[in-house]
Chain A
Amino acid sequence: MISNFIPGLIMIITSFLLPTIPQYFRHPAMLLSVGLSALSLFNGYGTFLEWDILGLNLILYQSDSLTLPFAIIFHIAAVLVIIFSWHSKNLMEHMATLAYAGSAIGALHAGDFFSLFIWWEATALTSVFIVFAGNTNAAKDAAMRYLIIQVSSGVLLLIGTCLMLYQTGNHNLVVLDLKTNFGIFIFIAFGIKAAFPLLNGWLQDSYPESSVTGTVALSAFTTKLAIYALARTFPGTDSLIWIGAIMTAFPVFFAVIENDLRRVLSFSLNNQLGFMVVGIGIGTELSLNGTVAHAFVHIIYKALLFMSMGAVLYRAGTTKASELGGLYKYMPFTTIFCIIGAMSISAFPLFSGFVAKSLIMSSLGGMGMVLIYFILFFASAGVLEHSGIKIPYFAFFAHERKNKFKEAPINMLIAMGIAAFLCIAIGVFPKYLYQILPYTVDYQPYTLDHVISQLQLLVFAIIAFLFLVKFKLYPSEIRSTVLNSDWFYRKMLPGIGKPLFKKIGILTESLYKNLGLSFKQVLSKSYKFSNLSYIKVTTPSFAGTILISILFIMLVIVLV
């Protein structure tokens, strides 16, 4: 019976029951709920649950060959996160994590845009508590910004869905294009969560502010749900090829100069999403397989890298490269697991990244897209730079360290060990991954040409690193903030808005005076409004005002 539940729902129900469960049984209960949810993976393909409400037919539970690989990896990610956070007693974070993972799994099985919207917002509302659980002022501010952006994405999705229903009478998840206005709304909604160029600020802003364990959970679901949604509704959309190519290349430069290693990983996450987006843009069976395979392996190695940095944060109290180094002596297992994650993301042969990325590169090569091919090839050297070398080098090596640290707790090592094992197992036996991809694969990643080509690229990029370090050309790590696209709503808009509101206040005041109006109350209110301390707008609420205004204007445009 339970296997006919909407997958993920049991996890959400369990998350609400967690406060009633004693501390020692919470994690086993969480694992059990994931296990029960995973029973649905054996249900096969089809539509299992529909609901007619308000004249709409909602498809709440459907499954097909695109849903399955995402559902499998989301369940695996949930298990990894639960094991990794076994030592933690942060109830709010556990509840949020389990409900978040459940919502993301539920979203995968939605068969229409309204159902997707509900889950889309559910992932936003649950995950914001994970950011919030970072429990610093910076985390709380970041959580508010995160919420505004995520909910905005949902609102755009809802507008697009309503327009689609109004114009076509259909609201099922079907392939869309950018020639319709609803298609554009939905595209932007997905683009926000997939961290498209200039829409990516929320990712690097919020993920590194979360807790040791929270970032691992965040890294797995939201963006990959967006990739799934794009793959389902916009396969073969040409503009995605360029959007994806920009996503692979640009974050690389930001990652080079970023000091916080968890933020480096967030830029790296953005770059990895780019590869997947390119695959969706090409839209062939091979490239879509590549996107799904890449999302699958990416969730594992990215979680592994975030876990290793989480372990470092847990023991050393920071992930700032300028303050780390030399941890290999004290955290040898974490070091090895981190290196395995680094080699996987860098796509070394025999590691998982290689067997997945090859599918996308081959589809690009097969289509003769020379420029995009080499942008992605270039970005591969970039991946090696920031995730392959920078992360392990600055955290664990770089220089000797005198003060001692303990190795990560056993539960963290187990979670990292499982992820590391999967990275290698998938790399060595890719056929098991290929078997669950949406289309039948007849692809051999391990050809001599391909292996030698990739090894040459990677090994000589490492030699370049050694060369730069030897001649002291490699930039030293500096405590700093690197500007990103969130600057527009964190600095620029308040920079324009604050003086503007102040001027409006003064103008209103003088207007009242000149007109000789004696509404003392109005005057005093107006005076207060013009007072700088009154005008001091906090960033989140100000950004919210601007975003809501933009959404309102867009709505007006559509209605007109």
Chain B
Amino acid sequence: MKKNDLKSMGKSFTKYILIIGALLILLDFTFHRHEYFSFAEIYGFPAFFGFVSFVFIVMLGKWLRKFLMRKEDYYDQ
């Protein structure tokens, strides 16, 4: 097996996911997406919501480490 299998896999995965993402956004322009709440019908709203939520979760989680993270043997001390 090649050494950089994982790297090339990552690259092609990124490429395909970006293509799918672009198609999903383009698809949004071709029909009217019905949602329960009118503001969610804005073009690409779920995509935007997904992206922002994900970044927010990771960033807030990272920040919470300051308060919640202890050494591995914390409870054994």
Contact = CB atoms under 8 A, between A and B. Distances in A.
A323 to B, nearest CB: 12
A453 interface: yes
B72 A457 contact: no
Interface string A348-386: 000000000000001011101010011001100110110
Nearest to B68: A483
Contacts of B6: 326, 397, 399-400
Q: What DSSP secondary structure best describes chain A's contact surface?
A: helix
A475 B61 contact: yes
A478 B68 CA distance: 13
B51 A481 contact: no
Interface residues of B, number: 51
B18 A463 contact: yes
Interface stretch (A157-165, A253-261, A524-532): A253-261
Contact of A382 (B47, B53, B64): B53
A414 interface: no
Contacts, number: 155
Contact of B54 (A366, A399, A453, A461): A461
Given A253-B57, A452-B27, A475-B58, A457 B49 contact: yes
Interface residues of A, number: 56
B37 A381 contact: no
A147 B45 CA distance: 46
B54 A465 contact: yes
Contacts of A406: none
B71 A454 contact: no
B70 A381 contact: no
B61 A256 contact: yes
Interface of B: 1, 3, 5-6, 9-10, 14, 17-18, 20-21, 24-25, 27-28, 31, 33-37, 40, 44-55, 57-62, 64-65, 67-75
A449 interface: yes
B14 to A, nearest CB: 5
A468 B59 CA distance: 10
Given A463-B21, A481-B72, A453 B37 contact: no
Contacts of B14: 466
Contact of A257 (B17, B69, B72): B69
Contact of A384 (B25, B54, B72): B54
B64 A377 contact: no
A473 B63 CA distance: 12
A474 interface: yes
Contacts of B65: 257, 475, 478, 480
Given A370-B37, A381-B50, A449-B35, A468 B55 contact: yes
B3 to A, nearest CB: 7
B36 A366 contact: yes
Nearest to B21: A459
B68 A254 contact: yes
A29 interface: no
- Rank and list the top 5 A-B pairs by shortest CB-CB distance, nearest first: A256-B61, A365-B36, A464-B54, A381-B53, A457-B50
Interface in A15-60: none
A125 interface: no
A252 B57 contact: yes
Given A457-B47, A481-B70, A400 B3 contact: yes
Nearest to A400: B6
Contacts of B48: 460
Contact of B33 (A326, A449, A474): A449
B68 A461 contact: no
Interface in A227-257: 252-257
Given A400-B3, A481-B70, A456 B62 contact: no
Contacts of A366: 36
Contact of B74 (A382, A384, A478, A481): A481
14 contacts: A256-B57, A364-B36, A374-B49, A381-B49, A400-B6, A448-B31, A455-B20, A459-B47, A460-B46, A460-B47, A461-B51, A465-B54, A466-B14, A482-B68
A115 to B, nearest CB: 37
